Every structure is written in structure tokens, then in C-alpha cells.
Amino acid sequence: MTLALLGLSTFQYYWISDVIKQNQQRFIGDVYASLNYVASRLESLEMRQIALSGYFSYTEKIDTSNVFSPNVDSSFPLFLDSMYFPNERKSANDPPKDLRGSWLAQQANGEVTNGQSERADPVNKKLYRRIQKFNSMVQRMEFETKSTHRLQPVLIDSLLKVTFRSRGIELPYEFGVVTNDGKGLLLARSKDQSALMRTPLRANLFPNDVYGNGGTLLVSFPSQARYLFNKIWATLATSVIFILIIIVCFAYAIMIIFRQKKISELKNDFINNMTHEFKTPISTVSLACEALSENEIHSNKNTLMRYLGIIKDETKRLGGQVEKVLQIASLEKQDFALANEIIDMHDLVNKAKERAIIQMETRHGELSCELNASRSLVMGDEFHLTNVIFNLLDNAIKYSPESPEIHIWTKDTANGVNIEVSDKGIGMSRDQVKHIFEKFYRVPTGNRHDVKGFGLGLSYVRFIIEAHGGSITVSSSPGHGSTFNIILPVCNA
């Protein structure tokens, strides 16, 4: 699944990169097309302006000596001849035909005198003046010195804006015009001229100029990256969201697997411990019953009572173990009710101390109490709260060396009464402290194998304390023992 997730992420990355690249290429193509259109449009507008100005200002007398100026390419009169006399001569050496007749040819060759010219056909005169007028406009268009006044920033900006908008490009831009060699800046509408000079988005202006002095139009888009990102942000966001969902689900599944594995191990340990805890009293009872079946035991009353006491103790022990398991099961199902009554916690501590004193004596330990709380009355269940204190004492005894040293004291706090149970046992690491209130968890005891139990005691303690509206915390370090702090709300009755 990890490999599949990595493959999917890689595929999405390359796919999105390809989409960005295609959008960028499409954007650049649209910009180039727009620039070329603007350049062509500017040239058309200039030609139209020259033609109109030549038409309205052409009032001077026809000068036949300038019809075919030596500075004009010979293709111009031939071109104009072709316009007005299609399918006629194709070069200057071809004989004239039809309307041009001998007069036009002789006039062009200087063979017609003034008298003959005055008597020429009026149609030919008009035609001649028409040709001369076109020649004059073409000369002005191509051979007059052109200055930078032909570069009108407002006109260029307007054409760019309209052209870009028609192609769906609506974002801020900067533009300028440089010389054809790219060294001189003729026009600039930009905050960063150095960045404008570096832009690859450019097109030649007035491309049909004979001498190619039109310059180069440049354009740059400061927010181009943001524009391209806006084109694919929805697709990118959707892909990222779905990949994150897959990653979260995958991580959650892995976490559940490890948690289930841990729970399985804890339950296996619980079953092993429970089997051991049940097997010992059952074996003891079985042996006692076997001994009682012998006739010799019946005659000895003291021995008989001793075996009966063993059976009673082991049966009580077995019942206690079963009761612990049933208590946890009932707590999980919320199938219990607290018998709330006013209880003095000092009395509960003394009762739990009496139950634990027997174990302390067999281990030659010391159990001391300092009951300093002035407010010790709480509203709670006496049976469960007594078990809480006893379980803490039992844990302190089990996880202490040969001679346990346990101290209990109570004191007043702002939140209620505080009961502390402290020992000088083996202690716990920080990681172990995090798990001690979990079901079936037992602190490892190293080479010691005499610590018995199901790992349910502290889980039961926390559940009961929280059910009474209190809290429990623990502080511990390896080799320095542990201290459990219980805070219960007091009753003011």
C-alpha cells in the first residue's frame, strides 16, 4: 500500500506538472499570436494614415519628371501598371498595349513632345496622374524618414488590451519597444525595465518596412505564475485533498493494526496470568480435598480444620479473582451503579490498611499513615473506594523489594481531599507511566517472576475515581519508587 501511495503521488505530481507546462505553452502561444496581430494592426493603421494624408494633401501639379524617380525601385511602376492594366506587359522592355498605347510608352521614354502631350487622350492623362499619385504615396510610405512618433503608447496599449482580452488573458502586463538590435529602448511602460528587456515575449513591429527600422515590441506579465496557478488550483487542490485523505486513512489503518496487535498481546498475557492465578488455588483445593478423603485426617481435628481453612482461603482467593474480572466487565458495559453515601476517607484508608497489613508483615515491611486532611468527607461508594485504596497498596507491595516501605497521607487542596500513596519500589519509566492505567498492562519486573495479577487493578482504580468526579495522577522514576495522587471532591454535609 505504501508503494501504491508513492506511485499515485508521483503520478499526480507528473500529471499536474504536465498540465502546468501545457497551460504555459498555450499562454505563450496566445501572447505571441496577440503580439503579431498588434504588430500587423499597427502597420495597417500606419499605411492607412499615410494613404489618407497623401490623398487629401495631393494638390500639387503633376511633375512628369518624377514619375519614375531613380530612387524608386523599378517594380513600383510595373506593379502599378499591372494593377491598372492586367494581363499586359510583364517587364519594362515589353511593348505597350491597349489603353497605354503609344502615348504612355513614348511619355515614359521621353519621346512625346509637349504639344503632343497636350493633344493626348484625356483618359490617358487621368490614368497617368493616377499612377503618379500611387507612386508618390508608396515613396512616402517606404522612403521617407520615419521617427518614433509612429510608436504611440496609448494606441499600442489599447490594441494589446483588446487583443489579450479576446484571447482570455486578463492580467496586468508591461510593454515596451526596443531597437532591432535590442540595445536601445525606444518606449517603455514598465516598473522594472531590466526584467522587461529579458522577456522572451516579443514581436517585430512594421515587419514589411524595406529597411526594417520598426523596432521590436516587448511584453511581460509580472503575475504570470499566479495566473498559471489559478488555472489549475482547483485540480491541484482536489488531488492534494484526496491524497491527504488516503494518507490519513492509511496511517489510521496502520495505527489500528499496531493497536490491535498490542491488545492481542495484552489479552494473551491476561489469559496466561488468569490461568496461573486460577490454577494455583484450584490445585491447592484439589490437594486439600484429596487429603481430607483419607481416614487418618478425620481423627485429627486440628489437621482437619487446617485443611478446611486452606480450602476456604483458596476458594475466597479464587472468588476474588473472578470478582475482579467481573468488575471490569461490568464497568465496560456501564452495567453498575454507585451506592452514594457520605464517607470519611480516613476510615476507608484505615480499613484498606488493615487488609494490607497481613501482606506487609509477611514481607517485613513498614506501612505508615499521616491523615492531615481537615475535610475528609466525600460522597461515594464505600465498597469501590475501599478497593481503590487497597489496590494501590497491593501494587506498592508487589512492586517493592523484600521489605516494602509505604507511606499514606491525606491533605486539603482547593479541589477537595488529596490522598497520596507513596512507595520506594522499583519505579517506572516515563513510557511505562503512560500505559499503567490501560487494561491488561503490567509493568515488566525483569528477572522477578513472583508478581502476580491480571493487569486490571489500576484500570479499575482510574475508572472508579473518575466515576466519583475525581482525578488520579502518578509520578515515578526507575529505582526511586512511585507516588499516586488521588483528588476527590469533598462533601460539605
Find the length of the chain: 493
Model pLDDT, residue 262: 82
Which of the 8 DSSP states describes residue 95? P
Cell digits for 110?
521621353
pLDDT band at 257 (very low <50, low <70, confident <90, very high): very high
Domain 238-330 is found in CATH 1.10.287.130? yes
Cα dist from 386 to 176, 325, 428, whole Å = 90, 17, 25
In DSSP terms, which residues pair with 483 in a beta bridge? 422, 475
The dihedral of CA 347, 331, 482, 411: what is its sign?
Answer: negative
Q: What is the pLDDT of residue 303?
A: 81
- pLDDT averaged over the chain? 76
Q: Residue 408 has what pLDDT?
A: 92
Reply yes or no on whether the pLDDT at 163 is more than 80: yes
Furthest CA-CA distance within the chain = 179
Residue % of the chain over a pLDDT of 70: 73
Q: Which of 42-56, 225-239, 396-410 bottoms out in mean pLDDT, i.e. has the lowest?
A: 42-56
Residue 131, all three cell numbers: 499612377
Residue in 93, 160, 85, 94 with CA at minimum distance from that of residue 127? 85
**Model pTM score:** 0.45
Q: What is the reported pLDDT for 483?
A: 92
Q: Over 70: is that where the pLDDT of 487 sits?
A: yes
Q: For residue 149, is pLDDT > 60? A: yes
pLDDT at 334: 64
The neighbour count for residue 146, using CB atoms within 10 Å, is 16
User: Number of C-alpha atoms within 13 angstroms, CB side, residue 77?
Assistant: 21
- Please spell the DSSP secondary structure of 295-361, one letter per residue: HHHHH-HHHHHHHHHHHHHHHHHHHHHHHHHHHHHHHHTT------EEEEHHHHHHHHHHHHHHHHH
Neighbours of 170 (CB within 10 A): 10
**Containing H/E element for 144?**
none
pLDDT digits (tens, 9 = 90+) for 53-89: 655 544 443 343 443 333 434 333 443 444 444 444 4
Burial 469-478, CB ≥16 within 10 A → b, else e = ebebebebee
Domain definitions of the chain by residue range: 2-26+148-222, 58-143, 238-330, 337-488
pLDDT, tens only, 181-199: 777 778 888 888 888 888 8
pLDDT by residue (tens digit) across 276-327?
667 777 888 888 888 888 777 777 778 888 888 888 878 877 877 777 677 6
Assign residue 450 a region (left: φ > 0; alpha: ψ between -120 and 50; beta: otherwise): alpha
Residue 421 is classified by DSSP as E
Mean pLDDT of 268-273: 74
Mean pLDDT of the region 204-210: 77
115-128 burial, b if ≥16 CB within 10 A, otherwise e? eeeeebeeebeebb
Q: What is the pLDDT of residue 417?
A: 92
87: left (phi over 0), alpha (psi -120 to 50) or beta: left
**Residue range 421-457, pLDDT digits in tens:** 998 888 888 888 887 887 767 666 554 444 455 566 7
More confident residue, 272 or 99: 272
Distances (CA, A) of 76 to 88, 136, 335, 433: 15, 10, 110, 102
Residue pLDDT, tens place only, 357-389: 777 777 778 888 899 898 889 998 888 888 888
Poorest-pLDDT segment among 108-112, 435-439, 487-491? 108-112
Q: What is the mean pLDDT of residues 133-148?
A: 57
Determine the pLDDT at residue 252.
Answer: 93
Q: Which amino acid is at 418?
A: N
Q: What is the DSSP letter of 365?
A: -
Q: Decide which of 312 and 140 is more confident.
A: 312
Does residue 349 come out as left (phi exceeding 0), alpha (psi in the -120 to 50 range) or beta?
alpha
Q: Are strands 405-413 and 366-371 parallel, antiparallel or unpaired?
A: parallel
- Please report the pLDDT score of residue 332 as a whole number: 64
411: left (phi over 0), alpha (psi -120 to 50) or beta: beta
pLDDT the model gives residue 292 = 81
Q: What is the pLDDT of residue 145?
A: 44
CA-to-CA dists, residue 268 to 71, 439, 458, angstroms:
109, 12, 19
By C-alpha distance, which of 311, 318, 385 is closest to 351? 385
Domain 337-488 has CATH 3.30.565.10: yes
The pLDDT value given to residue 335? 61
Query: What is d(CA 369, CA 251) in angstroms, rounded to the nearest whole number?
Result: 49
Q: Quick one: pLDDT band at residue 488, thresholds 50, 70, 90?
A: very high
pLDDT per residue as tens digits for the range 221-237: 888 887 787 777 888 88
